[in-house]
């Protein structure tokens, strides 16, 4: 289940869905793509998008699926409202994954576990400029992030000048991912500059981590953890990302470049033993985070973690993405990992179906995300 990008029924991941459909067919899975807008008003059938090799995409009326893989990302329009209504009306169906909360709530949730705290940058919910000023007193670098933002949209980087007192450099991207022209601003004028961003209760103020490579570009790492065919969390892969020139984020959609993790990390940390230790720690951390969030919010089948690593090797969690893209692995030539990233949800779906207790309900996610009730989840008789 996904969402159209516009009124012309454009889809963001059509090539990935095509590959999943073909791989699913090899495993006996009948997979189709739909959005909440494709559900018949009577609520019994779906005008699904199906793919047949040699014929391409077509539309077919289908009954409701036995398993739903939710790939819907946040939008600020009526299509997202249709999604919320679908989740509420059909919450009893069997979903492979449930929505997570916003970045602030996830951060607060992870803070509850002592083992996670050292990996979480100091973060506050923006109420007024005093939050930014307070963070700038303890850190020379501060990031402002939308609590529901994706793809680097609306992120601002504020750094104190080392040569000019009470002056900061403001950089970032607007809501359309366009790079904002860097500006030097006196601290007394910073509030006026940010006023039109409408940040109250919608932004995070986060202590920044210096991640600029010798070439001046920022970098981080995208880790993908997924459930396997035995219902267990495991690491699928981790890739490096280097931001575009003058970009404050490394997102690929914002012009970033994908680089093999080890190759990128060698530019940052020379010690071989330390890099090996980082890899081991990061893998355990990623799996622990996924398990904890699933225990807290309900069924999940995959998560992407955006990680930062400082010069000492300390790992920081920048963001959790419950609807991760996979192309970063294809871009660095790791085809086996890319294939695994596509097929793991299919293997997990088969495991869920084959191991359902006959005649019993899947336990409801608790607590539920906003806009959802907590209905019982019924199991059905056939897999699609």
Nearby residues of 138 by Cβ (< 8 Å), 6 or more positions away? 122, 207
Record the tokens describing residue 11, joined without a space: 């889809």
In this structure, what are the phi and psi dihedrals at residue 296, rounded to the nearest 5 degrees?
Answer: -85, -45
Q: What is the pLDDT of residue 369?
A: 33
User: What average pLDDT score do residues 12-32 get?
Assistant: 96
Tell me, what's the pLDDT at 373? 32
| pLDDT tens per residue, range 63-111 | 999 999 999 998 888 999 999 999 999 999 999 999 998 999 999 999 9
Q: Which of 101-115, 280-294, 366-380 has the lowest mean pLDDT?
A: 366-380
Q: Kindly report the three-state secondary structure assignment for every residue of 146-200.
A: ECCCCCCCCCEEEEECCCCCCEEEEEEECCCCCEEEEEEEEHHHHHHHHHHHCCC
Within 13 Å of residue 1, how many CA atoms lie on the same side as its CB?
29
DSSP category for residue 329:
H
Give me the chain's average pLDDT, please.
89
* pLDDT at residue 358 in the model: 65
pLDDT tens-digit map of 228-262 = 999 999 999 999 999 888 788 787 877 889 999 99
- The whole-number pLDDT of residue 150 equals 73
Cα dist. 106→38, 147, 359 in Å? 31, 10, 34
pLDDT-derived band of residue 302, with 50, 70 and 90 as boundaries?
Answer: very high
The two beta strands, 156-160 and 141-146, are: antiparallel
| Helix, strand, coil distribution of the chain in percent, nearest 5 | 30, 25, 45
**For residue 241, how far is the Cα from the chain centroid?**
15
Examine the pLDDT at 317 and tell me if it is beyond 50.
Answer: yes
In this structure, of 51-65, 104-118, 231-245, 356-370, the range with the lowest mean pLDDT score is 356-370
pLDDT value at position 357? 63
Distance of alpha carbon 274 from alpha carbon 210, whole angstroms? 19
| Nearest CA-CA partner of 195 in 145, 128, 134 | 128
């Amino acid at each position: 289940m996904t969402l159209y990008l516009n009124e012309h029924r454009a889809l963001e991941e059509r090539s990935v869905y095509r590959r999943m459909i073909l791989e699913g067919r090899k495993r006996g899975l009948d997979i189709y793509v739909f959005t909440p807008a494709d559900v018949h008003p009577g609520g019994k059938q779906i005008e699904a998008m199906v793919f047949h090799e040699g014929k391409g995409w077509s539309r077919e009326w289908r009954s409701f699926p036995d398993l739903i893989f939710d790939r819907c990302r946040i939008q600020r329009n009526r299509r997202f409202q249709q999604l919320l209504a679908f989740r509420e009306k059909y919450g009893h169906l069997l979903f492979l994954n449930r929505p997570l909360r916003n970045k602030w709530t996830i951060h607060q949730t992870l803070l509850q576990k002592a083992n996670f705290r050292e990996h979480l940058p100091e973060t506050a919910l923006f109420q007024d400029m005093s939050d930014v000023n307070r963070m700038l007193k303890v850190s020379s670098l501060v990031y402002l992030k939308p609590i529901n933002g994706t793809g680097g949209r609306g992120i601002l980087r504020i750094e104190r000048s080392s040569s000019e007192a009470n002056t900061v450099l403001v950089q970032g991207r607007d809501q359309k991912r366009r790079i904002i022209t860097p500006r030097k601003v006196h601290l007394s004028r910073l509030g006026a500059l940010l006023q039109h961003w409408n940040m109250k209760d919608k932004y995070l103020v986060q202590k920044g981590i210096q991640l600029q490579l010798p070439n001046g570009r920022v970098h981080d790492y995208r880790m993908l953890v997924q459930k396997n065919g035995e219902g267990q969390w495991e690491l699928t892969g981790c890739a490096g990302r280097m931001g575009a020139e003058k970009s404050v984020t490394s997102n690929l959609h914002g012009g970033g470049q994908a680089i093999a993790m080890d190759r990128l990390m060698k530019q940052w940390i020379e010690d071989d033993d330390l890099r090996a230790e980082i890899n081991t720690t990061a893998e355990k951390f990623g799996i622990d985070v996924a398990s904890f969030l699933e225990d807290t919010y309900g069924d999940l089948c995959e998560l992407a973690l955006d990680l930062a690593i400082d010069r000492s090797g300390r790992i920081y969690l920048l963001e959790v993405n419950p609807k991760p893209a996979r192309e970063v692995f294809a871009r660095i030539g790791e085809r086996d990992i890319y294939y695994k990233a596509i097929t793991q949800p299919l293997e997990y779906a088969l495991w869920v179906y084959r191991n359902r207790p006959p005649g019993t309900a899947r336990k409801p996610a608790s607590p539920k995300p906003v806009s959802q009730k907590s209905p019982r989840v019924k199991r059905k008789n056939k897999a699609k």
